[in-house]
Structure 1
Amino acid sequence: MSEPSLDVATGSSADTMSFSELVFSDYARYRPDRASWLKVLLRLPTLPGLLASIILRAQQCLYRSGHERLAHMLRTPGNTLVGADFGAGMRIGKGFMLAHPVGVTIGFGLTIGDDVSFAGGVTCAARYYEEGKEQEFAVIGDGAAIGANAVLVGGVTIGRNAMVGANSVVLKDVPDNAVVMGSPARQVGTREAAQ
Structure 2
Amino acid sequence: MTIAPDQPGFRELVFSDFVRYRPGSSPSWLKVVLRVPSVPGLLASLILRAQQRLFEKGHGRLADQLRTLGNVVVGADFGAGMKVGTGFMLAHPVGVTIGFGLVIGDDVTFAGGVTCAARYYDDKPGRVQEFATIGDGVLIGANAVLVGGITIGRNAMIGANSVVLSDVPEGAVVMGSPARRVGTREDA
TM (normalized to structure 2)? 0.94
Q: Which residue in 2 is equivalent to 1:178?
A: 172
Which residue pairs with 1:22 in the alignment?
A: 13
Alignment of 1:95-114 (within 5 A): 95-114=87-106
Of all paired residues, the percent bearing the same amino acid is 74
Aligned partners of 1:159, 1:18: CA distance in 2, in Å?
25
Aligned to 2:111: 119
CA deviations 1:93-135 (Å, max 9, x no partner) are: 0000000000000000000000000000000000001213210
User: What does the per-residue CA deviation read over 1:52-101, in whole Å, with 9 as the maximum and x for residues that have no partner?
Assistant: 00000001000111111111111111001000000000000000000000
Could you tell me which residue of structure 2 aligns to residue 31 of structure 1?
22
Of structures 1 and 2, the one with the larger relative CO (CA 8 A, separation 6+) is: 1
Q: CA RMSD in A?
A: 1.2
Alignment-derived partner of residue 142 in structure 1: 136
- SS in structure 2 at match of 1:53: helix
**Could you tell me which of 144, 150, 166 is aligned with 2:160?**
166
SS in 2 for 1:88: coil
CA deviation string 1:19-44 (max 9, x = no partner): 11110000010112110110001111
Provide the aligned length of Structure 1 versus Structure 2: 182
- Quote the Cα distance in structure 2 between the aligned partners of 1:73 and 1:81: 12
Residue in structure 2 matched with residue 70 of structure 1 by the alignment: 62
1:144-190 C-alpha deviation (Å, 9 max, x unpaired): 00000000000111000000000000000000000000000000000
Q: Which residue of 2 aligns with 1:3?
A: none
Matched to 1:48, the amino acid is P
Offset at residue 12 of structure 1 (A): 9.5
Q: Describe how 1:51-90 pairs up with structure 2 within 5 A.
A: 51-90=43-82
Runs of 4 or more above 4 Å deviation = none
